Amino acid sequence: MDDAPRFALDESDNPHDECGVVGVHLPQATDSDAAQVAFYGLYALQHRGQESAGIAASDGRTLRNFTNVGLVSNAFRQEDLERLPGHIAVGHTRYSTTGSSSALNAQPILAQGPGGEIALAHNGNIVNAEEMRQRLLEWGVSTTTGTDSEVIAHLLAWAPGETWGERTAYLMKSIKGAYSLVVATKDTTIGIRDPHGVRPLCLGRFSNGGWIIASESAALDHIGAQFVREVDPGETVVIDRDGLVSVPNPLPQERIAHCVFEHIYFARPDSTLDGRLVHMSRTRMGAALAKEHPVEADVVISIPESANSAAVGYARASGIPFELGLVKNRYVGRTFIEPDQRFRDLGVRNKFNPLPEVLAGKRVVVVDDSIVRGTTTPRIVQLLKRAGAAEIHVRVCAPPIKNPCHFGVDMATKDEFIASGRTVDEIREIIGADSLGYLSTEALHDAVGGDSTGSRFCDACFTGNYPIPIQLQMDKLSLERTLTQGE
């Protein structure tokens, strides 16, 4: 095999999300099937990570764990779930943001401490993992993976304190960054959200009195749970046989910095974030785009699926009809198969197919959620022009991305962003569009329910205004690299 880069049929230039987490606590009974419930919760969160999946479960006496690579539907067989009995379960579906994509780094992660064993699933990224790993080494605790999640798990397992509130307070005082966690012990389920609230986490209730903690409310809908509320920034929820106890943020009030990209791209449109349905936030983004960047055109189309809502909003506000101009192959996923040159040359056609009858001779507004490296957008523009579109006007319901995310999103390095050091017109020339318009940061914050300053959201990928001090460039494989070098 030659040294050509591996080709993925999913050539999306979108940012890759981090992970999805689920925690389930059912009334204790001999026939409890929390692992089965967690499986369906993860299935609803598949969009948040496609590299590996895992579930840890407890029957009140023994904590059992199973992880595997691949999609949720492929990672588990029915017999795997049957080997995870119990009324408590935590689950995880992963895209690597710290550490490589490998079976070793799959979650949940087990950690043994003085108070017993825990299983932890993590969504986010901490920025002081190397410092915290050194603290663990001083305690005589070693790590075996290249993930910050394992560092968090051992810190929590060994944290001083008599109660989980005291232990999570120690954890929050120690680690810096983004973390939404679900944790299981043999008899307790715990949810933890970082003081900035960067990554989402919500709480739901079953009619039988059970509880669920999940990254998005859409997961609750799929398993018949009632959405209760979002977990507050800095809050810990502890669920045991006596019920649920909320432990408020133990730290001085930090700046609230919910990830605005959850609204733009990551979250499902049927999820509720910050008290708003994501679909409605996206339609407002599209409407704002139409106001900020109007154009004479015949039809509005979206880059499916994540830009659908924004395209509807653009069409409504502009009065230009919305049409289905691109059909997405929903079953394209990541693959390690090396195709021959014929399929490599097809490029973006593996993922999108245009409808010439809709596009031929038309002036087309194409609404997308974001442009990162700019590798896919030129191909889509060419695809639409070959289908007969007379003009292509690209509208992006996010500002230009100029800075990497260090809080749980794998985007690119600063030099790789197409918007880094380029004007909008220079980007337009590169992608081959007749016009290009980005949503302003002020309009974005207004659409998601914030104020024009963005005080409730992290928008560092656009502005460089990070809510937590970070190094200029951070390497997601740094922990793994020092591990293999023997420190």
Spell out the CATH class of 280-453. alpha beta
**98/464: higher pLDDT:** 464
Mean pLDDT of 248-262: 91
pLDDT of residue 254 exceeding 70, the answer is: yes
Q: Which range, of 223-237, 382-396, 453-467, averages the lowest pLDDT?
A: 453-467
pLDDT of residue 23 exceeding 50, the answer is: yes
Question: Domain coordinates of the chain in residue numbers?
Answer: 19-257, 280-453
> Measured at the alpha carbon of residue 233, what is the angle toward residues 191 and 15, in degrees to the nearest 5?
85
Q: Is 19 a catalytic site residue?
A: yes
Q: Which range, of 34-43, 165-174, 260-269, 449-458, averages the lowest pLDDT?
A: 449-458
pLDDT of residue 17 exceeding 60, the answer is: no
Q: What integer pLDDT is reported at residue 411 of this predicted model?
A: 72
Per CATH, which fold does 19-257 belong to?
Glutamine Phosphoribosylpyrophosphate, subunit 1, domain 1 (3.60.20)
d(CA 106, CA 424): 40
Q: What integer pLDDT is reported at residue 330 of this predicted model?
A: 74
Q: How far is CA 82 from CA 37, 58, 66, 380, in A?
A: 12, 12, 11, 45
Give the tokens for residue 323: 């049409």
pTM, entire model: 0.88
d(CA 264, CA 286): 11
d(CA 380, CA 438): 17
Q: What integer pLDDT is reported at residue 15 of this predicted model?
A: 56
Pairing relation of β-strands 109-113 and 88-94?
unpaired
pLDDT of residue 128 exceeding 90, the answer is: yes
Q: What is the pLDDT of residues 142-165, one digit of tens each?
A: 998 888 999 999 999 999 999 999
Q: What integer pLDDT is reported at residue 482 of this predicted model?
A: 52
Q: How many CB atoms lie within 10 A of CB 460?
A: 23
pLDDT of residue 485 exceeding 50, the answer is: no
**Are the C-beta atoms of residues 312 and 283 closer than 8 Å to each other?**
yes
pLDDT of residue 300 exceeding 50, the answer is: yes
Reported confidence tier of residue 8, pLDDT bands at 50, 70, 90? very low
**Are the C-beta atoms of residues 76 and 55 closer than 8 Å to each other?**
yes
Q: Which range, of 192-196, 205-209, 414-418, averages the lowest pLDDT?
A: 414-418
**What 8-state DSSP symbol labels residue 262?**
I
Q: What integer pLDDT is reported at residue 102 of this predicted model?
A: 54
Tell me how many helices (H) and strands (E) the chain has.
17, 23
Q: What is the pLDDT of residues 393-452, one digit of tens each?
A: 999 999 999 999 888 787 778 888 999 999 999 999 999 999 999 999 999 999 998 766
pLDDT of residue 255 exceeding 60, the answer is: yes
**244/332: higher pLDDT:** 244
Kind plus residue range of the DSSP H or E element containing 272: strand 272-273
Q: What integer pLDDT is reported at residue 343 of this predicted model?
A: 54
**Mean of per-residue pLDDT scores for the chain:** 88
Reported confidence tier of residue 7, pLDDT bands at 50, 70, 90? very low
Tell me the percentage of the chain whose pLDDT exceeds 70: 86
DSSP secondary structure string, 18-68? -EEEEEEEPPP-TT-BHHHHHHHHHHHTGGG--SEEEEEEE-SS-EEEEEE
**Any idea how long the chain is?**
487
**Are the C-beta atoms of residues 66 and 72 closer than 8 Å to each other?**
no
d(CA 156, CA 167): 7
d(CA 270, CA 108): 26
Q: What is the pLDDT of residues 83-92, one digit of tens each?
A: 999 999 999 9
Tell me the percentage of the chain whose pLDDT exceeds 90: 75
d(CA 445, CA 260): 8
> Measured at the alpha carbon of residue 450, what is the angle toward residues 227 and 171, in degrees to the nearest 5?
60
Give the tokens for residue 407: 């809080």
Q: What is the helix, strand, coil percentage profile of the chain, to 5?
A: 30, 25, 45
Q: What integer pLDDT is reported at residue 1 of this predicted model?
A: 33
- Check 19, 202, 405, 461 and give the catalytic one: 19
Residues 6+ apart with CB under 8 A from 418: 371, 372, 373, 374, 427, 430
